[in-house]
A and B are shown apart, each in its own frame.
Chain A
Amino acid sequence: QQQVKQSPQSLIVQKGGISIINCAYENTAFDYFPWYQQFPGKGPALLIAIRPDVSEKKEGRFTISFNKSAKQFSLHIMDSQPGDSATYFCAASPNYGGATNKLIFGTGTLLAVQP
Chain B
Amino acid sequence: DTAVSQTPKYLVTQMGNDKSIKCEQNLGHDTMYWYKQDSKKFLKIMFSYNNKELIINETVPNRFSPKSPDKAHLNLHINSLELGDSAVYFCASSYREQQYFGPGTRLTVT
Contact = CB atoms under 8 A, between A and B. Distances in A.
B30 A99 contact: yes
Interface residues of B, number: 28
A43 B97 contact: no
A100 interface: yes
A43 B102 contact: yes
Chain B facing A: main interface SS:
strand
A46 B102 contact: no
B97 A101 contact: yes
Interface string B41-69: 11111001111000110000000000000
Interface string A86-106: 010100010010111111110
Interface of A: 32, 34, 36, 38, 41-46, 49, 87, 89, 93, 96, 98-105, 107-108
Given A42-B103, A46-B98, A49-B98, A100 B42 contact: no
B41 A101 contact: no
Interface of B: 4, 30-31, 33, 40-45, 48-51, 55-56, 90, 92, 94, 96-104
B43 A89 contact: yes
A96 B43 contact: no
A105 B43 contact: yes
A42 B100 CA distance: 12
